[in-house]
Structure 1
Amino acid sequence: MRLIISAYLRTLRERDEFDCLLPDLAIAMGYTPLVRPQTGVRQLGVDLPVAGKNPDDDVEELVLFVIKQGDIGRQEWSSTVQSVRQSLEETLDVYLTKYVEPAHQSIRKKIVVATTGDLKQDTQPNWNGFIEKYKETAVFEFWSGDKVADLIERFMLDEHVFQEEDRVGLRKALAFAGERDYSMLDVDRLLTRQLGLDSQGELPATAKGGKTLAKAIIRLNLALRMFTKAAQDAGDTRQALWAAEHFLLKTWHRVQLSDDDLKDKEVMKAFELLHHSYFEAGVAYLTKLAPHLQTRDGMSGYTGESAEYAIVLLEHVGLIASFGIALYGADKSAEGQEKAGRVAELLCAMLANMPATASPRLDQNAIDVSLALLFLSLVEKFEEIRDWVYELQGRLVFSLVQGWGFPISSDSFDDLVDVAVFHDEDLMKDCVGSSWLAATLATWCVVCDMKEEYKHLVRSLKRKVPQLRPQFWHPDAESTKRWYFEDVHFDTGATEVLDLPEDMEDARGRMIQFLREKEWNVQTSTSAVKAGFLWLDLLNCRHYRFPVSARTWYALAVRPDDASVQQDVGE
């Protein structure tokens, strides 16, 4: 395992990768970071200051990290203002003389040069001479990549809490990280064991929370970072983002099972590490995807509008939308909203440049469509919403009436092949049944006040495909207990079959009436909402593939001038 960690460390950049790992290691060693590394801020030679008791001699100390990347040779030692020697001198001359807090004045001062590589032999005399010169001012240590790997294995993956079974599972996961068809079973087992859950997601009586759980989450964050890095290096940023979603949701499921853990500051601080890792994986995913999204048919290669192509596109639509919703909900600052706006621009470019995004081939793509429409409504892209809804409902009606190219009600890819390639007529008839997508588009026509499109959709469905049944799934209180762990729509909640009226205002009235039903207003009191992570309740829909609650967008159908309705529904 140490060799794996050491090899992983050598792939990390200094900024936003290695400097994000070291605070986690410091916490695991018992130190408290005083600030987090921040790009663009003058650091006076110090990248990361931490304070606490040394785990080896139990002496209180202030540790100042100077973080570098790769091997340290003569050029890296002293050639520019960013070299090691210059950073150390600035730490001694400025930071230690002017910026040490009063509480840390009397404790031991240690300066650690941490790098992902090694100290080259030709630079060893320079290092020895420097620490000899300043030995009265501070204690000096050099942490090579191997040293950091050793500390990670000792304090984050120690034998007592990271058993051999988990080590083997992590090795297998890293080996298959770049394989699109990898089942992630090893990752799931690792998560379940580390979080102390049984196979059903329940918490045994012997499970430990608090500090023990916080340490487990920190270890899982390291495992996640290793996996996402391996997947990204193999070219699969989508797999990396999926893994980050999985770690985030399963961990939140475990945290919310205990009120004590929800209130534990260490647990919540550890969970935020996973939170940050998810956003980093999302940024890497979008950075790779952006040039293709902004080019006409930039993701098609040499293919046309095939069923497989449409499925891949809608998967990316869901990934981008759920990431955008998370970004919008997690950071309400002007900068955060600007970032969410840029993600929305990329999504809009994708919808405009990839016409096949308006041709879902699986009814479950209603999940991705719903998330995309919700995200665009959050950032007020209403014109783009109307354009896409217009295309979606038009293509849905056309494909259903023609009897080919429609989204099948089955979630089986084998069924899709039989329908799309072999034109199995009996199966085609069986696959025109319940439809989340028809219900979704009809109600979004109401939200967008698209009267003609709504009328065309409803009349066409009733007259041309009367066997199709628009429906919604509504979660109940039982659903919210497990929906961070697995798909819950088969055995919790309730399914509503919609009899869509031809008059759009009647449909609006029914939607508002549903909003008044308090029994189904469960999403305002989930554990994620109470903790400020509302976006988790939408991320789980995409990840576990169960329908987004229609109530989420029903509120958009309430007109601004109808104050009485707004008061009744509490939106």
Structure 2
Amino acid sequence: MKLVIREYLASLRERGELDAVLPDLLTELGFTIYSRPARGTRQYGVDVAAVGNGRDGVRRVHLFSVKSGDLDRNEWNTASPQSLRPSLDEILDHYIASRIPPEYAALPIAICLTFGGAIDEQVRAEVTGYMTRNTTERISYEEWNGDRLADVILDGILREGLLPPVLRSHLRKSVAMVEEPDVALDHFGRLLRALADTPGATAAARLSQARMINICLWIMFVWAREANNVEAPYRASERAKLEVWHLLKADIGRSGKTAEAAGFVINELFELHFVIWDELFEKKILPHANARHALSSAVGSHASLDVNLKLFELVGCLALRGLWLVWQLAPAKGPVVLNEEYVRTLPAMLAKVNNATLARIDGLCMQLIQIISNNRALLSPIGDWQAIDIGLAFTLLACRPATHGAIDQWTEELVSRSIFAFNVHGRYPVISRSYWDLVDHPSERSEEYRQSSTEGSVLYPMLAQWAAARGRQDVFDELAEFKIESLAHCTFQTWLPDDDSEDNLYLGRDDHGAVLIGVPVTAGSQDALDFVLEEAVNNPHYDALSAVRFGHWPIVLTACRCYRLPVPPQVWRDLLPAVGPLVKDEHHPTGDDAC
């Protein structure tokens, strides 16, 4: 296990990785962190500053100057200000004299040379000589190399009391199998589930468990990045976010340092999830969004089913990232249309940041449209439950007026192609989630088979709602006619949280929530929209979810995507009335942008 951790530490980058992990390790050792890594402010050589007992039991101020990998001649002393020796000089010349808080000013000081690897023997003598020359009665030097940090992890955050041998085994296996994402996720999921079944009895114990999950995910991610396949840690990070939210949600609601510490741990984990998302999507997937069939070909399977399943999953992941960006600008209760009128209500002092966020949202929306346009499998869902990913994508596109037209075009294609496939006994959307059932679909060209495969639907009523909201009466009426002629046996329905969802939603447990059945779709009306919106407004259980109460509604959508639950219609209660045809679209995607 120590070898796994040492390799992980040696692969961490300095900025945003090793210096981000270090505070959690120190906290578990009982240190008090008073300065964390920051961007845009001068740190005078100190990346992390903490107060705690050293190995000799003496209470000291520990000043950590962090570098990545091995400490060689280039990392030790060059003209670059990023070298370690200039940072140590800054600590001696500036930091100690003026930056240590008054309450710690009388304590002895340990300057800690921190790096994930080892010291190159070619510079060992220079480093030792520097430390010897500058050691005084008050100031000492410590070497925190990969070996020592690995011991800190094993004896602290991954100590046997928190991570017993059987769970360490799951961590090792998840790391070893990162190139087989399903297997790696299975082992990491067992580790998470064991923790969820035995949450700490105190806030401090639960925080330790959450930090341990964060470190385990970091270890898995760094190994996967080295293997050039980060799908497994991405999927694991989604589950880790949900597990940690469930673990700490009670502590977030408290006041004082407990809530602050819980919020900080959750934020660290979410930031790691976004780092992994960037590694997977920004670097590997989105550069090919505008190339015809590029992503379909990249699935690496000759089976059209595999391409279909992977592309819809990709759309859901992409939309969810965009909705986290929307969350930064939207009200705490849920997403809204981010039009010019709404943006003007945001604080003027944050205009530059808000405009940058809007630009990134617009970029993701355009890339989503390009992916749909260039990969035609996304016009023909094979599973009714793919309404989950489509619903997430609709939610993102609805948040920007410029992309409302794309909802119309995609809805029209989804409806017409699904109806055609049904009529010719083709690969129409079915309720089964079994891979082998989908491989054989349609296994029979009979009316009995069609009826048993389409006993219920969340896809068609959802498409009807969005068609009605956008004023596409022609598409709505086409669905109404299809319902009468071919789907009289099918229950149009949607899913809603209920009073037991709070205890089960974030952990992916079954048997919670409620089903709203009998969603009407009648030609010449918009009754599907009115029916669902009325329930969304009157049903109190969505607003009672902790993620919604604390203003983190994308967590609910993450749980829906991860555990395959339809998007609750309460998410759309402010969007659907605001995307109507009377609301002028600022731009309708055309040409390469069109679906």
- Regarding TM over 0.5, the answer is yes
Matching residue of 1:80: 79
Matching residue of 2:398: 377
- Is residue 531 from structure 1 mapped to residue 550 from structure 2 by the alignment? yes
Q: 1:16 to 1:258 in 2, by over 3 A?
A: closer
- Is residue 275 from structure 1 mapped to residue 266 from structure 2 by the alignment? no
Matching residue of 1:298: 294
Identity %, equivalent residues: 26
- After alignment, is 403-412 or 547-556 more displaced? 547-556
Q: Which structure has the higher relative contact order (CA within 8 Å, separation 6+)?
A: 2
- Is residue 368 from structure 1 mapped to residue 392 from structure 2 by the alignment? no
C-alpha distance in 1, partners of 2:499/2:38? Answer: 41
Residues 185 and 235 of structure 2 are in contact (CA less than 8 Å); yes or no, is this contact kept in structure 1?
A: no
Matches of residues 5-404 of structure 1 in structure 2 within 5 Å?
5-39=5-39, 41-48=41-48, 50-81=49-80, 82-136=82-136, 138-182=139-183, 184-195=185-196, 197=197, 207-256=200-249, 264-265=258-259, 266-287=261-282, 288-301=284-297, 306-330=304-328, 334=354, 335-380=356-401, 381-404=403-426
1:318, CA displacement in angstroms? 0.9
Q: Deviations over 1:459-487 (max 9, x none)?
A: 23322443333221222112232111114
Matching residue of 2:342: none
Q: 1:462 to 1:150 in 2, by over 3 A?
A: same
1:500, CA displacement in angstroms? 1.0
Matching residue of 1:565: none
The aligned amino acid for 1:328 is V
1:53, CA displacement in angstroms? 1.8
- After alignment, is 219-228 or 520-529 more displaced? 520-529
Q: 1:491 to 1:310 in 2, by over 3 A?
A: same
The aligned amino acid for 1:242 is R
SS at match of 2:508: coil
Q: Deviations over 1:145-174 (max 9, x none)?
A: 112111111211123322112111211111
SS at match of 2:183: coil
TM-score (norm 1): 0.89
Matching residue of 1:564: none
Residues 363 and 408 of structure 1 are in contact (CA less than 8 Å); yes or no, is this contact kept in structure 2?
A: yes
Q: 1:79 to 1:358 in 2, by over 3 A?
A: same
Q: 1:342 to 1:55 in 2, by over 3 A?
A: farther
C-alpha distance in 2, partners of 1:239/1:322? Answer: 17
Q: Deviations over 1:389-442 (max 9, x none)?
A: 22222222222222212111211221111115x556454442132111101100
C-alpha distance in 2, partners of 1:190/1:308? Answer: 28
C-alpha distance in 2, partners of 1:148/1:469? Answer: 58
Question: Structure 1, unaligned stretches of length 5 or more?
Answer: 562-571
- After alignment, is 479-488 or 304-313 more displaced? 304-313
Q: 1:238 to 1:449 in 2, by over 3 A?
A: farther
1:234, CA displacement in angstroms? 3.0
The aligned amino acid for 1:122 is Q
Q: Deviations over 1:104-123 (max 9, x none)?
A: 32222221111122112221
SS at match of 1:139: strand
The aligned amino acid for 1:514 is E
C-alpha distance in 1, partners of 2:77/2:249? Answer: 51
TM-score (norm 2): 0.85
Q: 1:256 to 1:79 in 2, by over 3 A?
A: closer
The aligned amino acid for 1:346 is Q
C-alpha distance in 1, partners of 2:118/2:2? Answer: 15
SS at match of 1:470: strand
SS at match of 1:458: helix
- After alignment, is 471-480 or 264-273 more displaced? 264-273
- The Cα RMSD (Å) is 2.6
Give the length in aligned residue pairs.
548
- After alignment, is 210-219 or 222-231 more displaced? 222-231
1:299, CA displacement in angstroms? 0.8
Residues 29 and 55 of structure 1 are in contact (CA less than 8 Å); yes or no, is this contact kept in structure 2?
A: no
1:560, CA displacement in angstroms? 9.2
Q: 1:87 to 1:187 in 2, by over 3 A?
A: same
Question: Structure 2, unaligned stretches of length 5 or more?
Answer: 331-352, 581-595
Matching residue of 2:584: none
